[in-house]
Amino acid sequence: MIKLGGLIDLKPITEADVFTATSKETGTTSVFKSKAARDAAIKAGTHEKRKDDKDGAVKDPTDKPKVNIFDKPKKDKAAKGGDSSAGKSDAPKLNIDTDDMGDYDGMSSDTSSEVENYLNKELGLDGSSDINSGGAIEYNIPGSTDTLFIGNDEKGGKPFSVSLGNEDGMDPDNTYKAFDNSADAMAYAKELGQKLKGGKEEPKDGGRPKDSTGGRAGNPEVNKAVRKKAQSLGITPQKLGKEEYESRMKKAAVEALTDSNFHSEARKLIAVLEDKPEWEKDPRQDPNMPDIMSPEYEEWQKTSVYSSELYDSAEGTDEIAHEASNQAGWDGVSALDAIAFDLKMNGSKELAAKIQGIIDDTNESTMRLSKMLPEGRPDRNLIRMAKAQNGNIKQDFEEMMDLLNSGENNDALNHIEDAISRLEDLHKVVKRKS
């Protein structure tokens, strides 16, 4: 005879064992559905095993089921087209914020939080997410060099995109995929989330790392510094529009090369961007170049690379350029790559490739060697002095013109003499250092 009281004490056959570890941040016990998930969290440094955390499976401390022998076992919903993943949460729907005009503004912050909670639960991780400047969700876990990106860039006409990026923001494994619906995008995000537990080193070619575009990945530290500077100044396509953003980054690239003493490369870049190959030549070698103080000089200048607006500054361009050249130690290649990196991260991959293409793998070693020679190194103090004097001389001439227009010739002469004196001082210093 079977006693009902004995059945009541039986462990439910559907109850699953779990694996536990203690969160370093909160000190509470975390429950993992598999040993692999628990071990991954310990390896990542977010959790640790304490005396209460057994090495093997234990009864779920958070689950207190009651047994009712009269309950019929629930059928698998999968047979009826339902959700068969009992105990698992539903994937969040990806919601997109739009502005008053209905234009795309990026993933919503609520969606970012939901994605974070979902992936943490499903993968047994302790990751965090945020919205980047491009409007995409960035999901990271401690100890991983990779980042999971979930965005909306409408590539290929599909609204959702998912990919992994390494510490440089690049996708060397070509994980990028676009999806028509939120469910498929999140399913793929969950799949890629498993790869966050490890990282892969970028392939190298000719001594410099390559990214998924085939171009140079650049120096990670320089890349991060320049990107941070551009974002702090509001130099982004989201703030300025793609056309204006690209225009300013072109000027920043030219200034970064010039500031690094890569003048011939700066001319080559302008020649490529302006589609005027003749501008690559040094204008100073033109036998028809008039004296700089002559009336003909201004007209001649209009026909040379010196007339390019890419030499002109725009708001934020000098700050970005000087951040790039300084962080790169005036290595023009790394400075240029950092600006190209920001362009790639903002979807301007074609322009980035064009900019990086002026220094290819065949001429880089020779070019870099020439910049290592003493005469090829920029004298930072001298450059700063020249820039300071340039401002002073410009002011002298502006005041001189105002006085001449007012008929105060004697006072105007004083400013001319001051400007000449500044030029003579600069000439002496340059001559001595040469």
Mean pLDDT comparison of 4-13, 60-69, 413-422, highest-scoring range: 413-422
**What is the enclosing helix (H) or strand (E) of 208?**
strand 208-209
Give the pair of three-digit tokens for residue 411: 């006072």
CA dist 3 to 9, 69, 70, Å?
11, 12, 14
**For residue 168, what pLDDT is reported?**
60
Residue 200's pLDDT band, with cuts at 50, 70 and 90, is very low
Which one-letter amino acid corresponds to residue 188? Y
Arithmetic mean of pLDDT over the chain: 75
**For residue 231, what pLDDT is reported?**
92
Say what percent of the chain tops pLDDT 90.
17
Assess whether pLDDT exceeds 60 at residue 318: yes
Instruction: Please give the distance of CA 249 from its chain centroid, rounded to a whole number.
Output: 14
CA torsion through residues 362, 364, 367, 373, sign: negative
Assess whether pLDDT exceeds 50 at residue 377: no
**For residue 240, what pLDDT is reported?**
93
**For residue 225, what pLDDT is reported?**
92
Say what percent of the chain tops pLDDT 70.
68
Q: What is the mean pLDDT of residues 355-383?
A: 53
Q: What is the mean pLDDT of residues 413-427?
A: 85
Residue that wins the pLDDT comparison between 387 and 230: 230
Contacts of 49 (CB under 8 A, 6+ apart): 21, 22, 42, 55
**For residue 204, what pLDDT is reported?**
42
Query: 21: closest CA among 12, 34, 10, 32?
Result: 32
Q: What is the mean pLDDT of residues 371-383?
A: 46
Instruction: Identify whether the C-beta of residue 368 lies closer than 8 Å to the C-beta of residue 252.
Output: no
What is the C-alpha to C-alpha distance for residues 281 and 305, in angstroms, rounded to an integer?
8
3-state SS assignment for residue 154:
coil
Residue that wins the pLDDT comparison between 11 and 264: 264
- Residues 51-88 have pLDDT tens digits of 667 777 776 655 544 444 444 444 443 333 334 333 45
What is the C-alpha to C-alpha distance for residues 64 and 8, in angstroms, rounded to an integer?
14
CA dist 139 to 56, 68, 165, 308, 399, Å?
30, 42, 10, 42, 57
**For residue 166, what pLDDT is reported?**
73
What is the C-alpha to C-alpha distance for residues 240 and 244, in angstroms, rounded to an integer?
6
Query: 348: closest CA among 123, 128, 148, 153?
Result: 153
Query: 149: closest CA among 200, 185, 121, 202?
Result: 185
- Residues 138-157 have pLDDT tens digits of 887 766 667 888 886 655 56
**For residue 72, what pLDDT is reported?**
45
**For residue 232, what pLDDT is reported?**
93
> Mean pLDDT lowest for which of 29-33, 259-263, 270-274, 337-341?
29-33
**For residue 15, what pLDDT is reported?**
44
**For residue 368, what pLDDT is reported?**
43
> Mean pLDDT lowest for which of 22-31, 248-257, 406-415?
22-31
Assess whether pLDDT exceeds 70 at residue 337: yes
**For residue 335, what pLDDT is reported?**
93
Assess whether pLDDT exceeds 90 at residue 260: no
**For residue 16, what pLDDT is reported?**
54
